[in-house]
Amino acid sequence: MFMYPRRAIRIAIAATTLALSAGAPPADAVSARQSSQPRVIEVVARRYAFEPAQVEVVAGEPVRIMVRSGDGLHGFSVPKLRIKKEIPRGETVAIELTADTPGEFPILCSEFCGDGHEEMKGLLIVKTRPAKGQ
């Protein structure tokens, strides 16, 4: 019957203790934290369009929509999801969103920005979450 030398076992235990006390998180804790970070989607608002005009997310997926004004004041509004943010001149505004319901939700500019304001529209598409295991 094979036996590890007593001294080798003691060294292995010491190395494990050192790794834990150094504050290195276990590998699975790191990946869990990364997957809970929202996906970042960048949108530019400028007279008189959102670019891209269509934003696609998956139901239940946390996203952070970074809306930047490419010129003056605009608004980013998704009335059906009760989202309405001012996008001041030259600024970027972060909008955190986790859409629960699949569907298509119009995006509107909610601040008067000129002659084409009423035409300034986009579409948020919330896709059905794929079944587990796909």
Contacting residues toward ligand CUA, per CB under 6 A = 74, 109, 111-113, 117, 120
Please, which residue, 65 or 113, has the CB nearer to ligand CUA? 113
Give the separation between CA 6 and CA 11, rounded to whole angstroms.
Answer: 9
Spell out the alpha helix ranges (H) of 1-134. 6-21, 27-35
Please, which residue, 63 or 122, has the CB nearer to ligand CUA? 122
Report, in Å, the least distance between residue 112 CB and ligand CUA: 6
Please, which residue, 69 or 126, has the CB nearer to ligand CUA? 69
Report, in Å, the least distance between residue 97 CB and ligand CUA: 20
Q: What is 7-35 written as a DSSP string? A: HHHHHHHHHHHHHHHTTPPPHHHHHHHHH
Report, in Å, the least distance between residue 81 CB and ligand CUA: 19
Cβ proximity of 97 and 81 under 8 Å: yes
Report, in Å, the least distance between residue 131 CB and ligand CUA: 39
Measure the CA angle with vertex 106, ends 104 and 109; round to 5°: 160
Please, which residue, 71 or 96, has the CB nearer to ligand CUA? 71
Give the separation between CA 121 and CA 48, rounded to whole angstroms.
Answer: 8
